[in-house]
Amino acid sequence: MAEKMLKFVQTAQAMPEKRMAADRAKDFDEIYREFAAQKAAEQASRCSQCGVPFCQVHCPLHNNIPDWLRMTAEGRLEEAYELSQATNTFPEVCGRICPQDRLCEGNCVIEQSGHGTVTIGAIEKYITETAWASGWVKSPKPLHGERPQSIGIVGAGPAGLAAADKLRRLGYAVHVYDRYDRPGGLLIYGIPNFKLEKDVVERRSKLLAEAGVQFHMNFEVGRDATLDELRKKHDAVLIATGVYKARDIQAPGSGLQNIVPAMTYLTASNKHGLGDTVPEFENGQLNAQGKKVVVIGGGDTAMDCVRTAVRQGATAVHCLYRRDKANMPGSLREVKNAEEEGVEFVWLSLPKSFRGEGKVTAVHAGRMKLGPADASGRQMPVEIEGADFDQPADLVIKALGFDPEDLAQDFKAPHLEVTRWGTVKISARSKMTSMPGVFAAGDIVRGASLVVWAIRDGRDAAAAIHQYIQAKAQPAAQAAE
Ligand SMILES: Cc1cc2nc3c(=O)[nH]c(=O)nc-3n(C[C@H](O)[C@H](O)[C@H](O)COP(=O)(O)OP(=O)(O)OC[C@H]3O[C@@H](n4cnc5c(N)ncnc54)[C@H](O)[C@@H]3O)c2cc1C
Ligand code: SF4
């Protein structure tokens, strides 16, 4: 039944049912169930249809949220899907894993007025899942025939795949190269199943392949071809390789066994979940079962590690972070989920060394308090003298963030300019790097960021590549006249 809008006073906010913590800690299935049709319409009808929709302004894709909410409330789901997919290549992914509390929902006007935000992400997921079930999601085949030019995309993460989708629709031959064995980047090997089930990503890559996108997996640029070689092969190249160099902690004992980087741990868990044989998981090295686990860090990667360890059957999981809860970089929604699942947070604690003989047995940490703010306005942690403690651990996972690899060296491309942070430098307007015809998008340009920004960058880069190729084709066509 069609719902009227502006129901935020009489209709309370509701999320799809969240599975009980005790049940979800036993498996890797997603933790939220689906909205039923009536519930989605009812929740969409809470939207206040603002003249200036701050949700849309704060969505990196500027999704037309108020309009697709109204269509959902009115039961016009196919139109809602058409509108939603017009600005977002993977709306079902964003609906699941965007930190909505910091983006669209955090800026919803009815949230600001104390009524509780419209549950935008859950409705976006509902619309797109309905579209998949109803056969409305179409493969991105060329709309107006094939073009003679080909584009090489390095990296099959969300930035590369979003660009591949747009460029293929425009009729280009699209070749995606990735050093992993499956497309998806961090959507497959970083983000755990309980946030994003893998078949959600796999059905998208399948659709791209059906549309003619050619995937060259287990192909590492730098090892299997140089950037120059790829550039010669294609009319334009897009670098979308993400950032993978793990930040490390240099402290006494950091060479002990069973201290591992987050991506090593999460990749093993995700591969195991996908049915691959992972020797380091099978021999227990990267499996938290029966272990006391300590995760160091306060971002989303740390949250994924603690919650993975719970599901693997760790006997205790502690997360050490040097600031307090209010100042942690990770999504508060994820912290709440982790706490419900039994993770203990040790706020204001800074690892100083690792104890053990051969293998780690404890993290030795100092207690901190928050001192004066630094230049960015953030309070700096200051150590409290004489308050050190030991946190027992059989497995320590370092989740301290990521930096870019040295691409100019790895790709044997000394002319590829990078910033002082090592990210690839592009022109804000043309999205082109210092090498003509070579573009870049996603984390390798921004530094570690979000999936929704990678999608935005991939779409923008595709539009810029199209413009570049059209501009080059014009003089050639004129000369031939
Ligand atoms: C554990 C974890 C959890 C996260 N959780 C969230 C979340 O909940 N929500 C959210 O919005 N964001 C999250 N993020 C961030 C998000 O995953 C990234 O911002 C996003 O994936 C970046 O997309 P990308 O396409 O730029 O790079 P990536 O997804 O990293 O993809 C890059 C691809 O390039 C390939 N590649 C790299 N080098 C080469 C080479 N030399 N040759 C060939 N291929 C190469 C890689 O194999 C990879 O497939 C998380 C990140 C991590 C690590
Ligand atoms: S893409 Fe992300 S930020 Fe934008 S509407 Fe969807 S959930 Fe919100």
Tens of pLDDT, residue by residue over 328-351, are 888 888 999 999 999 999 999 999
Judgement on whether residues 450 and 387 belong to the same structural domain of the protein: no
Pick the closest to residue 47 from 86, 105, 95, 133 (CA basis).
105
For 336, the 3-state DSSP assignment is: helix
Span 370-399, pLDDT tens digits: 998 888 888 889 999 999 999 999 999 999
Buried b (16+ CB within 10 A) or exposed e, 385-420: eeeeeebebbbbbbbbbbbbbebbebbebeebebee
- Ligand 1 centre distance from Cα of residue 243 (Å): 7
Residue 8 located in a structural domain? no
**Residue 310, pLDDT above cutoff 90:** yes
Which CATH number fits the domain that encloses residue 41?
1.10.1060.10
Residue with tokens 């050619």: 214
For residues 147 and 172, the answer to whether their CB atoms sit within 8 Å is: yes
- Asked if 239 and 252 sit in the same domain, the reply is no
Q: State the pLDDT at residue 373.
A: 86
> Tell me: the pLDDT tens digits for 299-308?
999 999 999 9
Ligand 1 centre to CA of 177 (Å) is 14
Instruction: For residue 232, give the DSSP letter.
Output: H
Alpha-carbon torsion (70, 17, 316, 276), positive or negative: negative
In the three-class reduction of DSSP (H, G, I as helix; E, B as strand; rest coil), residue 327 is classed as helix
Instruction: Please tell me the distance from the alpha carbon of residue 156 to that of residue 154, in angstroms, as a whole number.
Output: 7
Q: Given 134, 166, 187, which residue is the final one in a domain?
A: 134
The domain boundary, picked from 134, 161, 180, lies at: 134
Q: From atom 1 of ligand 2, which residue's Cα is the shortest distance away?
A: 94
Whether 4 is covered by a domain: the verdict is no
Residue 474: its pLDDT value, please?
Answer: 79
The pLDDT confidence band at residue 7, using thresholds 50, 70 and 90, is confident
* Residue-level pLDDT at 56: 97
Whether 290 and 234 share a structural domain? no
Is the same domain home to 286 and 394? Answer: yes
Residue numbers of the domain that contains 229: 150-243+404-480
Number of folded domains that form the chain = 3
Kindly state whether residues 158 and 90 are assigned to the same domain: no
Q: Classify residue 290: in a domain, yes or no.
A: yes
Residue 228 shares a structural domain with residue 356: no
- Compute, in angstroms, the gap from residue 319 CA to the centroid of ligand 2: 28
Q: Ligand 2 pocket: which of 15, 57, 63, 455 to mutate (most atoms <8 Å of CB)?
A: 63
Residue 95 Cα to ligand 2 middle (Å): 6
Whether residues 171 and 130 share a domain: the answer is no
Name the closest ligand to CA 180: 1
Provide the β-strand partners of residue 366: 350
Please tell me the residue having the least CA distance from ligand 1 atom 14: 450
**pTM (whole model) above 0.85:** yes
Q: How far apart are CA 176 and CA 165, in angstroms?
A: 11
Mean per-residue pLDDT, 283-312: 97
| Whether residues 259 and 352 fall in one domain | yes
Out of 3-17, 316-330, 430-444, 461-475, which region has the weakest mean confidence (pLDDT)? Answer: 3-17
Look at the block and give the residue holding tokens 């929704």.
Answer: 452
Q: In the prediction, which pLDDT does 268 show?
A: 98
The pLDDT assigned to 390 comes to 98
For 234-276, the pLDDT digits (tens) are 999 999 999 999 999 989 999 999 999 999 999 999 999 999 9
Residues enclosing ligand 2, CB less than 6 A?
A: 59, 61, 63, 65, 88, 94-95, 98, 100, 103-104, 120-121, 124, 452
In a domain, 314, yes or no: yes
Boundary of a domain, candidates 401, 426, 451? 401
Q: What pLDDT does residue 113 have?
A: 85
Is there a single domain that holds both residue 265 and residue 378?
A: yes
| pLDDT recorded at residue 60 | 98
Please write the tens of the pLDDT for every residue from 42-89: 999 999 999 999 999 999 999 999 999 999 999 999 999 999 999 999
Ligand nearest to the CA of 66: 2
User: Is it the case that residue 1 has pLDDT exceeding 60?
Assistant: no
Supply the pLDDT for residue 480.
Answer: 66
pLDDT, tens digit, for every residue of 10-37?
Answer: 888 989 999 999 999 999 999 999 888 8
Is the pLDDT confidence value at 155 over 80? yes
- Do 201 and 339 reside in the same domain of the chain? no
Q: Would you state the torsion angle of the CA atoms of residues 19, 305, 124, 3, taken in this order, to the nearest 10 degrees? A: 30
Ligand 1: residues with CB < 6 A are 97-98, 154-160, 177-180, 185-186, 190-191, 195, 220-222, 240-242, 266, 300-301, 304, 442-443, 449-452, 454
How confident is the model over 402-436, as pLDDT tens digits? 999 999 999 999 999 999 999 999 999 999 999 99
pLDDT over 80 at 131, yes or no = yes
Task: Give a yes or no: residue 14 inside a domain.
Answer: no
Residue 218: its pLDDT value, please? 98
In a domain? residue 418:
yes
> Is the pLDDT score of 158 beyond 90?
yes
Looking at the predicted structure, is the pLDDT value of residue 481 above 90? Answer: no
Query: 100 CA distance to ligand 2 centroid (A)?
Result: 6
Ligand 2 centroid – CA 90 distance (Å): 10
Are residue 190 and residue 217 in the same domain, yes or no? Answer: yes
Q: Does residue 386 form part of some domain?
A: yes
Local confidence band at 479 (pLDDT 50, 70, 90 cut-offs): low
- The lowest-confidence range among 6-10, 145-149, 196-200, 365-369 is 6-10
From 59, 93, 241, give the residue whose CB has the most ligand 1 atoms within 8 Å, as the site to mutate. Answer: 241
Whether residues 236 and 255 fall in one domain:
no
262 occurs within a structural domain: yes
CATH number at residue 334: 3.50.50.60
